[in-house]
Amino acid sequence: LRLPAVVTLAVAVLAFLAPIYFSSDAFNSIWLSWIGFATAPPRSNDYVPVLPFLAPFLVGLGVAQIAVPRGWLDRYRKPSGKRNLLAFFGRHSLSFYLIHQPVLIALVYLGSITFPPPPVDQVEAYKKSCEASCMQTQNNVDLCQSFCGCTLEKLHSENVFDAMMANTASIEQQSKIRDVAAQCSAEVQ
């Protein structure tokens, strides 16, 4: 707050550029990923590292350090009326933040009940997942399609497909699933 605006803006530029130039696998640990130098950010819905997201704050601070002494914001300083909804939320920002989250979640939940997504075609989901997994092991497309088609057919004939897709297969069913995979692997190669 006491530094000149030019210094604050320069630090904002550094905060923005630092993750680009200093990213390293050494920061991928959950204990260090918050800094912003991780090359593989943690799986999270609300992951916001300090860098580069400190930069917009510092830009705002630097601009305010320039604008306030010159009076550029004076016309916005007049007290707002009691009916100004934005000013009310600004004065009670924590309450607004804590209340709007459950309200939004409830609206999304009601929307999902009112307009549910179409059911997932388990056969197509299995084919896509199987082929993607197979391709990761450096196999060609034809081999993967043959293997996945074979396993799909045998899983249905053994009556274990639905249990496998629901992740409720018993130990006996899991054994059948492994046997099917081994049989199909031998057949297509």
Q: What is the pLDDT of residues 134-173, one digit of tens each?
A: 888 777 888 889 999 999 999 999 999 999 999 999 999 9
Contacts for 176 with CB less than 8 Å, ≥ 6 apart: 158, 160
pLDDT recorded at residue 117: 87
d(CA 30, CA 152): 39
Tokens 């043959």, residue? Answer: 146
Tokens 């993967």, residue? Answer: 144
CA atoms within 13 A on the CB side of 13: 5
Q: What is the largest CA-CA distance in the chain?
A: 80
pTM above 0.85, yes or no: no
CA atoms within 13 A on the CB side of 131: 13
pLDDT recorded at residue 99: 93
CB atoms inside a 10 Å sphere around CB 60: 12
- Say yes or no to pLDDT of 81 above 80: no
Domain boundaries, the chain: 1-78, 122-188
